[in-house]
Structure 1
Amino acid sequence: MTTALTNSGTAEAIPGTERNRDRKRNPGGLLARARRSYADHWYAWAMVLPVVAVLAVLVGYPLGRGIFLSFTDANEANIGRTIGDFEVPATYRFIGFDNYWNILSGREGSFYPRLSWTVVWTASCVLLHYTIGLGLAMLLNRRVRGRSLYRVLLILPWAVPPFVAAFAWKLMYNTDNGVLNALLAKAGVGAVDWLGDPLVQKVSVVAVNTWLGVPFMMVALLGGLQSIPRELHEAAEMDGASAWQRFRNVTLPGLRPVSGTVVLLGTIWTFNMFPIIYLVIGQAGGTESEILVTYAYRLAFQGVRDYAGSASYGIVILSLLLVFSVFYRRLLGRQEVAR
C-alpha cells in the first residue's frame, strides 16, 4: 500500500491509490468498467443523457424502423392504418434481402444509372466548391480595402435557406420570363431550355449547388489559410520559391487537415442534397436527372408508395457513405504517416 509522511512524521495510506492500481491490474468486463466510469463521472453522464435521448428518438428510432421495413414488402396497401374508429391491420410480410438483391443486382433497372449520375453530381459540385472556395479564400486572405464587406457578401448565399435559393433560381431559369434568357436575348442569343433538356438540367442544378456550397468552403479554407504561419511563406520566398511553388509546398500542405474535413462533409452533404434536385427541376424533370435520394423519396411518396423499397434505398445510401468515409479517413491517415 502506498504511504505518505504526515506533518507529524507518521505514515498514512494515500486514499484510492491502491484501489486505482487494482483497477489497472484487474480492469474487469465491459459492464464493470461502465459502472466505474459512471461512479467517477456521473455528472458527465447526466449532461450527455438528454442528448442521447433526443438522438435516440429523432435518429435511432427512424433508422431502426427503416432497417426493419427494408426487409419487408411494405407499401401503402399493406402498411396498416387507422381510419376514424376503424383500424386496418398491417399485412406486409418479411422477405429477407430481396429488396437489396433487386437493387444491387440491377433487376430493378434504375439503381446503377442513378448511382452514376449521383457520383458525377457529387464529384462535380465538391470539386467546384473546393477550387472556387480556395480561390476566394486566398483573395480574402490578402490585405485589400473593403475585405470585410466582401466577406459578408460572399457568405450571403450560405445564409439563404436551400429551398428559398432553389425557388429563386427556378424563376431565373424560366424559359419565357427568366432573367437568364432575358440577358441572352439582349446579347442576341436564343433562349435556353434550362429545365427541359436533360443535359442542361444537370448543368443547371450543379450551378445552383455550387452557388450555395462555395461560401462554406471559402470560410473554412480562409480559417485554414490564416492558421499557416507567415514565416513559412517568407522563408520560402527568401529561398527563391515562386508563387506556384509556395502554393504547392506551403499552402496546400498547411491546408491538408482542413481540406480533408471539408471535402468529407461536402461529399456527404452533396450526395444527399435533396432540395436542389427536387425543387429546381421539380416534376418536369426526367428520371435521368434524379439522384438516389430523390428517387427514394419518389418511391415512398408517389405512385404505389413502396415504403420497403424506399427504406432499402436509404440503407444503401447510408452504407455507401459509411464505406466512403472510412476509406477516405484511412487514406488521409496514411498520407499523414507518409509525411
Structure 2
Amino acid sequence: MTVAVEGGSDKTQRGAGPRPGPRPGPISRFRQSYNRNWYAWAMVAPVVAVIGALVLYPLARGIYLSLTDANSSNVGKTIGVNEIPDSFSWVGFDNYTEILSGGDHQFWPHFTWTIVWTVVCVALHYGIGMSLALLLNRKLRGRTFYRMVLILPWAVPTFVTVFAWRLILADDGGILNMALEWAHLPTPPWLSEPFWQRIAAITVNTWVGVPFMMVSLLGGLQSIPSEQYEAAEVDGATPWQRFRHVTLPGLRSVSSTVVLLGTIWTFNQFVVIFLLFGATGAPEAQILVTWAYRLGFGQDPRDYAGSAAYGVIILSMLIVFASFYRRWLARNEKAV
C-alpha cells in the first residue's frame, strides 16, 4: 500500500511539472528588447526623430486642418509683439464632402485630367524607355556615347530642363514656333490655350522621365541570360516571339517596380506643372497636387483646410492604388 501511494505520488509529481508563469506585458517585452538591442535603438533614434519632425507631424497637422475651416485670415499669427490666436472652427468631414460631391466644381475635372496625365506619361515613359533600352543593349559602335547623351535629361536639374522648355515652347519667339513658322506650318499656342498646355506638359514630363525608365529597363535586360535568347533562336523563334516570351518575362520584376514608382511620381509631379505654367497659370492643366498647392498658397485668402483635404485625398488614393497594384502583381506571379 505504501509503495503504491509513493509510486502514485511520484507519478503525479512527474506529470505536473513546473507551472508556466504569467506572460510578460508589452512594457516588459519592450524593456527586454531595449536591454538586448539598445545599440540598435540608439542608431535608429535620429532617423525616427527626423521622420517624425519632417513627415509624421506635418501629416498629423494636415489631417487636423482638413477637419477645420482654417484659412489665412483665421489662423493664429504673430505680428511684432502681438500674438493673434487661432479662430478657425471644427467642421468635421464637411471639406471632404464638398470636394468629393463636386461642390467645389474643381476636384473631378482635375482628377480626370490627373488620371489621363498619369496614364499617358507612364505609357510614354515605359514605351520609349523600353525602345531605347533595347537599342542600347545591342552591340553598336558608340554605345557608351549614346548612353551618356540619353541620360543627360535625367542628370540635368529638373528646374533647368523646364525653363529650357519654356524658352522652346514660348508662344512668341519660342524656338519651336519659330521653326514651324519658317517651315510655313501652324504655330500652336503651347503655353496659353488649355489643350496645347496639356500637350506641352506631357511632352516636358516625358522628356524628364524617360531616362530613368531607360536605365532601369537596360539593367533588367542585361540581367537576362543570353542562353535563353540563343535557345529561342535555335528553336526558330522570330524577334517578336523572343521579345514576347523571353524579354518581357525576364523584365517582369523590374517592370512592375518602375511602373509603380513612375505612377506615384507622375501622379505627384509638382515641379513640371508648377515651373512650366507658374503658381497661378493654366488652371485647366493643373493636376491634383498643384491645385492643392494653389488653394493653400496661390490665392487670397489661402484655403489651408481645403488644401489639406486635397492632400489627404491624394495620399489615400495612392495608398489604395499601391495596395491593389501589389496584390494584382502577386496574383500574376502566383499564376505564372
Find the residue that maps to 2:184 and give its secondary structure. coil
Measured at CA, do residues 245 and 34 of structure 1 come closer, stay the same or move farther in structure 2, by a change above 3 Å? farther
Q: 1:228 aligns with which of 215, 221, 224?
A: 224
Q: Which amino acid aligns with 2:308?
A: A
Paired residue total: 315
Q: What is the aligned partner in structure 1 of residue 254 from structure 2?
A: 258
Measured at CA, do residues 99 and 230 of structure 1 come closer, stay the same or move farther in structure 2, by a change above 3 Å? same
Measured at CA, do residues 190 and 284 of structure 1 come closer, stay the same or move farther in structure 2, by a change above 3 Å? farther
Give the CA deviation at 1:221: 0.6
**Equivalent pair of 1:196/1:284 in contact (CA under 8 Å):** no
Quote the Cα distance in structure 2 between the aligned partners of 1:48 and 1:138: 42
CA RMSD of aligned residues (A): 1.6
Give the CA deviation at 1:38: 3.0
After TM superposition, the structure 1 = structure 2 runs for residues 130-169 of structure 1, keeping only pairs within 5 Å, are 130-169=126-165
Q: What is the aligned partner in structure 2 of residue 72 from structure 1?
A: 68
Which stretch has the larger CA shift, 41-50 or 150-159?
41-50
TM-score by length of 2: 0.90
Quote the Cα distance in structure 2 between the aligned partners of 1:59 and 1:284: 27
Q: Which amino acid aligns with 1:326?
A: S
Q: What is the aligned partner in structure 1 of residue 121 from structure 2?
A: 125
Quote the Cα distance in structure 2 between the aligned partners of 1:101 and 1:92: 18
Quote the Cα distance in structure 1 between the aligned partners of 2:197 and 2:120: 14
Give the CA deviation at 1:45: 2.3
Q: Does the alignment pair 1:248 with 2:255?
A: no
Q: 2:311 aligns with which of 291, 301, 314?
A: 314
Q: Does the alignment pair 1:40 with 2:40?
A: no
Give the CA deviation at 1:188: 1.5
Q: What is the aligned partner in structure 2 of residue 12 from structure 1?
A: none
**Equivalent pair of 2:280/2:294 in contact (CA under 8 Å):** no
Which stretch has the larger CA shift, 312-321 or 231-240?
231-240
Give the CA deviation at 1:37: 3.5
Find the residue that maps to 2:232 and give its secondary structure. helix
Give the CA deviation at 1:265: 0.6
Stretches of structure 2 lacking an aligned partner (at least 5 in a row):
1-20
Q: 1:112 aligns with which of 104, 108, 112?
A: 108
Measured at CA, do residues 75 and 233 of structure 1 come closer, stay the same or move farther in structure 2, by a change above 3 Å? same
Q: What is the aligned partner in structure 1 of residue 3 from structure 2?
A: none
Quote the Cα distance in structure 2 between the aligned partners of 1:74 and 1:317: 19
**Equivalent pair of 1:195/1:201 in contact (CA under 8 Å):** yes
Measured at CA, do residues 26 and 247 of structure 1 come closer, stay the same or move farther in structure 2, by a change above 3 Å? farther
Q: What is the aligned partner in structure 2 of residue 237 from structure 1?
A: 233
Q: Does the alignment pair 1:267 with 2:263?
A: yes
Larger Rg: 2
**Equivalent pair of 2:279/2:294 in contact (CA under 8 Å):** no
Q: Does the alignment pair 1:207 with 2:213?
A: no
Q: Does the alignment pair 1:197 with 2:193?
A: yes
Q: Does the alignment pair 1:336 with 2:327?
A: no
Quote the Cα distance in structure 2 between the aligned partners of 1:81 and 1:242: 70
Find the residue that maps to 2:251 and give its secondary structure. helix
Q: What is the aligned partner in structure 2 of residue 18 from structure 1?
A: none
Q: Does the alignment pair 1:177 with 2:173?
A: yes
Quote the Cα distance in structure 1 between the aligned partners of 2:146 and 2:32: 53
Give the CA deviation at 1:316: 0.3
Q: What is the aligned partner in structure 1 of residue 14 from structure 2?
A: none
Q: What is the aligned partner in structure 2 of residue 88 from structure 1?
A: 84
Q: Percent identity?
A: 60
Quote the Cα distance in structure 2 between the aligned partners of 1:281 and 1:250: 43
Q: Which amino acid aligns with 2:292?
A: A
Find the residue that maps to 2:58 and give its secondary structure. helix
**Equivalent pair of 1:195/1:285 in contact (CA under 8 Å):** no
Q: What is the aligned partner in structure 1 of residue 5 from structure 2?
A: none
Measured at CA, do residues 228 and 29 of structure 1 come closer, stay the same or move farther in structure 2, by a change above 3 Å? farther
Q: What is the aligned partner in structure 2 of residue 13 from structure 1?
A: none
Give the CA deviation at 1:281: 2.0
TM-score by length of 1: 0.89
**Equivalent pair of 2:162/2:276 in contact (CA under 8 Å):** yes
Q: What is the aligned partner in structure 2 of residue 15 from structure 1?
A: none
Give the CA deviation at 1:304: 1.6
Quote the Cα distance in structure 2 between the aligned partners of 1:27 and 1:139: 62
Q: What is the aligned partner in structure 2 of residue 299 from structure 1?
A: 295
